[in-house]
Structure 1
Amino acid sequence: MEFRLLRQLLAVAIAGAGLMAAPTAASASAARIKDIVNIEGVRDNQLVGYGLVVGLNGTGDSLNNSPFTRQSLQAMLERLGVNTRGENMRTANVAAVMVTANLPAFSTQGSRLDVNVSALGDADSLQGGTLLVTPLLGADGEVYAIAQGSVLINGFKAAGDAATVVSGVPTTGRISAGGLIEREIGFTLGAQRTLRLALRNPDLTTARRIALAINDFIGVPTATPEDPATVRVHLPRGFNGNIVDLLTDIEQLVVETDQPARIVVDENSGIIVMGKDVRVSSVAVAQANLTVTIAESPEVVQPAPLSMGETAVVPRTDLTVEETSRNLAVVPESVTLQQLVDGLNALGISPRDLIAILQAIKATGALQAEIEVL
């Protein structure tokens, strides 16, 4: 078994070495510039607000347990000319909610946006509710949108005397086009003379390739890589157009991206994701499983005839320890990701055991990759 496993690993290593000797252009990872960068100033802005949802069928907040709902309801009624101060309010058709939304880039006044609604108190469901006028504030404290409308939820809750069924999350909902933009963000993209391109996955090599591709296309030094995450683009003199025209021309350029070798591990779920550039130096790997089996079979013992004894239960425990060991396997030097996976799979290793093996190989210094544990 040992020699057969070693022959399999050796065959895979030889085949992989042949593939490595003649890399092709198809193996490179290429993407458009618009898919790997964010443009400075072209971004969403997060909005948040506090409001009330009314019209619930007895599934709202209990006012005794949610004092903020009581205070908000009283303040709203007072603004409408109804004084309820000092009154004992028992309505269960109102729920306090947090309203969130993303203000898209370059949104104009009067346009619509979608808003999300989430219960803040102990409401059971927002089904059938209507959000009252709620100001949505930005990080600077200014009001940028107003939200109002019927709340649509994806879940439901049904309860009887002895059973309750809950599907999804009935305390969160969404109002499609429920937000009305009242204030615009003052940023004129076309008036800019220089902008930064922010790489979504920072890398020095990729940043330099982006700059070279832009300069080759324009024909003059226009882009400069400043760091692994930033490429600065200047509007060249004599260019027939503004910065928007320039960005439109260069965002379709295809660039071969590059990333450092990395292994991402989620120990809770046993998920392992490896990059294609992961390499392993020559190392020997062995793995053993320890199985402990405990079986309880209590035995009833009867007293002797005509004796004064009592019936008793005597515990009986069968404990078995089994250790399943696998032979030592040699992983050749500088194997590729496919070769490493094939070799470890040949050993019959589970994902959780593979996590421990990769961490052990990293500790020996034989793994040329970064391990990121989620």
Structure 2
Amino acid sequence: MVGVRDRVQSGIRQQKIDHSGKPVKSQNSMKYSKIILLGGDGFIGKQLAFTLANRGYAITVPCRRPHRNKALQVHPGISVIEADIFDPAMLEKLCQNQDAMVNLVGILHERKRNDFRKIHVDFIKTLVSACSRNNIKRLLHLSALGADQATGTSRYLRSKGEGENLLHTFGQKDLQVTSFQPSVVFGKNDQFINRFAGILKFSPWFFPLACPQSKLAPVYVGDLVEKIADAVEDKSTFSQRYTVCGPEEFTLRQLVELIISSMGSSCRVIPLGNGMSKLQAMILQHLPGKMFTMDNYNSLQTPNICEEGENCSSSLRQYIQGIGVMFGNKKNYDRFRQQLPR
């Protein structure tokens, strides 16, 4: 079995395949060779920027703090530009001479009231206008599993659903839209596994867990970005909405207990009932960092699993065992390495 490092080195050496084994296309063979990637400086965005650039696309990543994204800047296929994408005039200028757009912009917590609507709905109208004025005909959009304008259980999910609907409505004539609805996404530097691990380091004896029976099917960031990259030129994905999940389903309690085990901790999960879960959210949403809010609580009332859709193969269980050393459990990490194919 060829490792990721071997595939990367092979791709660099031959300039014919990328790190995942996908062929690198010449720009002459691409209809959408120049792509503006909104949210390209985030956790998912950085992975996607490298994946697309390694396939031969010319990627533009606008962001407010380019100096924080030096890893992106050293790639010859990625241009990092200092810009405020929420300024309509600036966004329109950024879209000049681009063939396609990928929108990964989104927030999980509101700093101010109506931030969900501003980011997930109003901004959609702005970027569609920018595409129209610059003759961009292709747009790929990252939504969220459970997003639904009418039936979403939280303001987050309803706003994501409304924005997604707007894109597909506007895209019926002039813009070929594909949207992806992933479950929670894990990987290096994620804000999901790492957040729980960080909290658990300060909870040596017990951990009161809200919504312990909420269901999740976490998807690996590498699998998600491959699916997005595969769709860029694929006409069969036009006007489609794809749910994306990992191969395993967990309750939130099972997932947290898996993290605890990988840390080598003896911490015990204390599952909270509905009333105490709400109380925890009401308290924590007023603390710095907003670790857990009432809107998060409402989102967790919707199972974050795929009844059907694009299921990915990478195992969260194996991933967590493999990074046990990061959580301070080198024994688990060494055992995991021994199981890897040579």
TM-score normalised to the size of structure 2?
0.19
The structure richer in helix per residue is 2
Higher share of residues assigned strand: 1
Structure 1 length-normalised TM: 0.18
